[in-house]
């Protein structure tokens, strides 16, 4: 959120050993070309620069 805003993280216990995690923000949204990678672990969206892993 480049111009500030609020990020809310909600964790709720569900039935059994499951939980629900929600990330709610007031940002500009997700770019269309990144929607297909939602839910994939270890996705890096920033450009590779020296010192970044």
Q: Does the global pTM surpass 0.85?
A: no
Domain boundaries, the chain: 1-26
What is each CA distance from 48 to 1, 20, 44, in whole angstroms?
21, 32, 9
Per-residue model confidence as pLDDT tens for the chain (53 residues): 677 888 999 999 999 999 999 999 887 778 888 888 887 887 666 666 666 55
């Amino acid at each position: 959120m480049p111009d500030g805003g609020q990020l809310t993280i909600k964790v709720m216990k569900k039935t059994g050993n499951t939980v629900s995690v929600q990330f709610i923000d007031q940002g500009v949204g997700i770019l269309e070309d990144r929607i297909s990678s939602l839910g994939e672990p270890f996705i890096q969206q920033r450009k590779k620069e020296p010192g970044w892993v």
